[in-house]
Amino acid sequence: MYRLLPVLPLAILLTTGCQENPAPADTTATTVDSVAVKDSLIHPDEKHFKSLKQLTFGGDNAEAYWSFDGSKLVFQSTNPAWEEHCDQIHVFNPFTDDLRTGKPAQISIKGGRTTCSYFLPGDSLVLFASTHEAGATCPAVPERRADGKYVWPIYSSFDIYVSDLSGNIRKQLTKTAGYDAEATVSPKGDRIVFTSMRDGDMELYTMNIDGSDVKRITNAPGYDGGAFFSPDGTKLLWRASRPGTQEELAEYKALLKEGLVKPTDMELYVANADGSEMRKVTELGQANWAPFWHPSGQKIIFASNHKSQRGFPFTLFMINIDGTGLEQVSYGDTFDAFPVFSPDGRYLVFSSNRNNHGTRETNLFLAEWQD
């Protein structure tokens, strides 16, 4: 799930994951390097980035996810230039559309706060979570706490909807009391995974594309969220907090009663798509989150601040699903997160506040990937 809250004076933390490998989009005539700035945007140690293109130019932009055919991105943005006051959902073609010249098509047209958009099979529909039925205004973000705890709000008015690309709501997938959000779709096109508080804790669930056959996947105290199916649809990957002491568990439950969760200690987990054979992948400390599958299905790319002594920067790392082979992917004293591979594995889209000229703006970037 996407969050846009201050971590440090110069940092922001944005939070938060198709039929079987669809045919690659025909992008041969619209290669990235036509508007890439290869020298200034890429750190010398970023060896996996063949070229890098900035896609958005202002505001706070994150959680960009590919269409099944790899030709479009759906993402969320808070951009004052687009008259947005909290996260809204947009769609565009990253290979042909120039967002410096205008606002992309907006899908969330009913107001409220929206998050976690994802394409459904066929690319004519997307799902996203929204608070619009509780009111068209943006729900408030928490005030800075006197105890200094950094927290995310868990809006109980979030439910998951399906919309066409013109903003017409076609179906409401969840109707339970409490938080329902962070939904993503299996590459097989048959199941959705999402996070819900319907049973009193932040747990993962799966359901059919039409919202039927809901099954609970996780059962441990703590926050489970930001889940994605593996490329073959057989496994799940997500981020989780696991209170390790009675004091930590009490703090977690107390914050949850306030509609809050503390995201500063998270690790990555994988399991079979039915929740079986669950295991912890990382043991790095601090916040390890925004994971996504490498196209091979054998590696995970994710954001982490585990090397930092001050909670910042967040950079991209890659690790094998057995927890070995940790590799740093992005570099610099900045924020890089929400990495997502295109269906054909040729491109990686991610959010970064590099090249923001000293502002707090966070933009989308498109890299040509090379292993």
C-alpha–C-alpha distance, residues 23 and 9, integer Å: 44
Looking at the DSSP bridge assignments, the partners of residue 11 are: 8
**Bridge partners (DSSP) listed for residue 169:** 163
How far is residue 364's CA from residue 346's CA, in Å, rounded to a whole number?
Answer: 16
Is residue 6 very low, low, confident or very high in pLDDT (cuts 50, 70, 90)?
A: very low
pTM: 0.90
The pLDDT of residue 312: 83
- pLDDT band (50, 70, 90) for residue 147: confident
What mean pLDDT do residues 321-339 have? 96
**Over 60: is that where the pLDDT of 283 sits?**
yes
Percent of the chain past pLDDT 70, that is, above it, reads 89
Identity (one letter) of the amino acid at 326? Answer: L
Instruction: Decide which of 23 and 285 is more confident.
Output: 285
pLDDT for res 39: 52
Rounded-to-integer distance, Cα 370 and Cα 251, Å: 43
Best CA proximity match to 233, nearest among 343, 332, 112: 343
- The one-character DSSP state at 15 is -
Q: Write a three-state SS string for 208-267.
A: ECCCCCCEECCCCCCCEEEEEECCCCCEEEEEECCCCCHHHHHHHHHHHHCCEECCCCEE
pLDDT of residue 27: 34
* pLDDT surpassing 60 at residue 32: no
Residue of 9 and 225 predicted with greater confidence: 225
Which DSSP helix (H) or strand (E) runs through 272? strand 267-272
CATH class of 5-22+56-345: mainly beta
Query: Long-range CB contacts (< 8 A, 24+ apart) of 316-322?
Result: 316/350, 318/294, 319/268, 319/281, 319/282, 321/270, 321/281, 321/297, 322/281
The CA-to-CA distance between both ends of the chain, in Å, stands at 27
Residue 103 has pLDDT above 70, yes or no: yes
The pLDDT value recorded for residue 144 is 87
- Taking only the tens place, the pLDDT of each residue in 180-201 is 999 999 999 999 999 999 999 9
Determine the pLDDT at residue 163.
98
Residue 5, token pair as written in the block = 């809250």
For residues 205 and 194, give the distance between their C-alpha atoms in angstroms, rounded to a whole number: 5
